[in-house]
Amino acid sequence: MNRAPAVTMRLRVDPVACEGVGLCAQVADRVIELDRWGYPLVAGELGPDQVKAARRAVRACPRRALWLEEVGGDRG
């Protein structure tokens, strides 16, 4: 049986849309840290156990400033 290769995901943030209030970090504190100004630090690939929390953060963002993408992928 062939299995599809695991897809690696990462979070991206639109720095223009983000207001830096930090709601994303409140709902996904093990995935997102905030910088000293309250903006999310989302660099790095997500482990399989982190993707669920990352999706929660994407849904919680009131500015739609967060999204998930495949590593090597594009937003469009």
User: Which residues of this chain interact with ligand SF4, rule CB under 6 A?
Assistant: 13, 18-24, 40, 61, 63, 65-66
Q: In this structure, are residues 15 and 67 in contact, taking their beta carbons and an 8 Å threshold?
A: no
Q: How far is the CB of 9 from ligand SF4 (least distance, A)?
A: 16
Nearer to ligand SF4, 3 or 75 (CB): 75
CA distance linking residue 19 with residue 56, whole number of Å: 18
Nearer to ligand SF4, 35 or 70 (CB): 35
Nearer to ligand SF4, 8 or 60 (CB): 60
CA distance linking residue 2 with residue 22, whole number of Å: 41
Q: In this structure, are residues 35 and 15 in contact, taking their beta carbons and an 8 Å threshold?
A: no
